[in-house]
Every structure is written in structure tokens, then in C-alpha cells.
Amino acid sequence: MQHKVKMAILDMNNNEPNQGLRCIVDIAKMFHNNLDYKVFDVRAKNELPDTSYDIYISSGGPGSPLEQEDWRQPYLKLIQQLWDYNSTSEEQKKYVFFICYSFQVVCDYFQLGEMKPRKSTSFGILPVHKTKAGLKDVLLEGLDDPFFAVDSRDWQLIQPRLKVFKEHGATILSLEKIRTHVEYERAIMAVRFSKEFVGTQFHPEADPVGMYAHFSQDVYKQKVITNFGEKKYNDMMQHMEDPDKITKTYTHILPRFITMAIEKTSKQLIPQG
């Protein structure tokens, strides 16, 4: 008999309403034949899984990734335990995906570069450019270069410490859009920390159908227009309807990560003999 793979979803939203967690859960439900999942409210309730799960998806969330809150040390201790487990375990591995806020927290923890506030919020469906490593990475296979993703952040990882990247065996997979009219450094948008650990500054879980319905509601529409202008709102809604934009990103990145993790973990879980 084959055992189901266990996945922990780490909710980093701190009780703020969002679409991201729903999207992650919807993706997890696609794998219901092979996967059992449980959601842990990390920041609002200090809930954390133990190390018995096979896959961990750590969500985006609001606020500064540098804030020293109660949940931070236990969360980073768990991440370090999973990293150490993979370093010492020959056969079985733990697979971890970090999204946006979680990506920022972990990049800061591993000291991969400077974590800085942006001059203005990056918001919308924006182009993401692959690096040389990203062009060859299985996670981004099948996506255009540049591909499009939902970006929503006030912070960014810049000035990569390449020596630290090398020590960890980490690689930069993608960078933010090229901005010829400004001299700001381009932010790092995706990192492969190891074969099993990967993270994105953007939101690969963003579901175009659900998001379109969400932002069609007048209250959210007005919020975007007030903060970013009508053109930004119209561009975003148009991109959501384009199958070559975030639909492609949604169907490729996180489902592929989970599929590969299930395949590798299932082989380890099948009883021998």
C-alpha cells in the first residue's frame, strides 16, 4: 500500500485578508489522491508543524520581513532543522517552497543579500526575466522569457552576496523587469537555495480566475485605482484574461514543484520488500 505524502501550508498572512492562501489550498486540492495537507497559522497563532511533513509551502504576507516578532525564531528554527535534515539524510528529503514574504524572511536569514524597502510599492502583473541558471532550471521550464507573474511588495532583495550564494550552493533564477528609465538595482525574484528548497519574490500561486473575480468587486477595484491609478488596474485585469500571462505561471511553477516533490517522496514512502 502506498502512503499519502504530507504537506504543511504555513500561513504567514497574520490574519489579514488575502487571496494567496486560498490559491495555495486550491492547488493542494488538485493533488488530493496523493496528498494530505494541513494549514498552520504561523504569525497570528504561533502555530508551526513539526519536521514529519514531506512538503512545506510558506506563504506571502504583510509587513516588514525584518520585524522581530514572537513567531520568528521558532519559524527559522524549523527552516534550519529542515535544511539540516536534508544535509544529513541520504535518501529522504524535505521539500520547501517560500513565497514573497517568506522568501524575504529566509533570504535575510541566509544572508543572501540586502533586504531593503522599495521607494514605492511594486504591484501588478509584471514581467520576470530568467537568469542563465533560470533558463536551465526545471521549475521555470515551459515559461517564456520574460514570463509574467503577480508582484505585490514593499521590500526587495538586492546586492546579492555571491560568496554566500556559493557557500550555500544557491542560485538566482530570475530578476525583476528591466527599467531603462531609472537607475535602481533590479531585485532578485527567485532563488534556488538547494535541490529541495526554492523561493519566489512573486506570487506563483495567483489564480487568474479567482483574482479576476476578486478585483472585479467594487471595493477592491477602487482600492487599486486609489493607490495605483486606473491604467494600472485596467492593465492588470487585461493581463489576467491573457492565457500566456499568469495562467501559464499558475499552472507551471507550484504544481510542478509539488508534483516533483510527490514523485520523489512517494518512492521513499513505498514500503520495501
pLDDT tens digits, 240-264: 777 778 999 999 999 999 999 999 9
Please tell me the predicted confidence (pLDDT) of residue 184: 58
Regarding pTM above 0.75, the answer is yes
C-alpha cell at 40: 498552520
Please tell me the predicted confidence (pLDDT) of residue 140: 96
Beta strand residue intervals within the chain, DSSP E: 5-11, 35-41, 55-58, 95-99, 114-130, 147-158, 171-176, 188-192, 197-200
Please tell me the predicted confidence (pLDDT) of residue 149: 92
Please tell me the predicted confidence (pLDDT) of residue 67: 92
Q: 174 pairs with which residues across the strands?
A: 130, 190
Please tell me the predicted confidence (pLDDT) of residue 185: 76
Residues of the chain with pLDDT under 70: 1-2, 178-184, 267-273
Please tell me the predicted confidence (pLDDT) of residue 163: 95
Please tell me the predicted confidence (pLDDT) of residue 2: 55
Please tell me the predicted confidence (pLDDT) of residue 107: 97
Domains of the chain: 5-117+157-206+249-269 (3.40.50.880)
